[in-house]
Amino acid sequence: MRDDTQLTQEECYQIEALLKMEHHQSEIAVVLKRHKSTISRAVRRSPAEAAAGKLLFMVGAETAQLERARPLLDAMGDTVLHCGAVGSGIRMKLVLNPLSQATCQLSAEVVALGLKLGLDAASFSPVM
């Protein structure tokens, strides 16, 4: 069983699909050949923030497992959010993805409208 590597994107999708089919997390661990206490890692923020050690981790894990991993997470980021049991971190990430995408799209539309109205593109950054 692997429990020392980051979840792949495919594994994240598999977790979400299996949870939707109401599989228990122990069953999912068997399917993915992962230990049931494996932390489901979901990371947000940019590559620049990663380089600066400013990552945000949404973690699904048993409390003891999170505390065991916390020194490593703290070394890589400045925010560790315990979202609940194993699998909760990736579910939180998947729930928030549409919000992030909608925000990006709406921001682009607002800038496009402003440009059409003759506003200077540089003036958007400080107010958005």
What positions carry a catalytic annotation?
93
Radius of gyration of the chain (CA): 18
Q: With b meaning 16 or more CB within 10 Å and e meaning fewer, what string describes 80-100?
A: bebbeebbbbbbbbeeeeeee
DSSP per-residue codes, 30-50: HHHTB-TT--EEEEES-HHHH
Q: Is 115 helix (H, G, I), strand (E, B) or coil?
A: helix
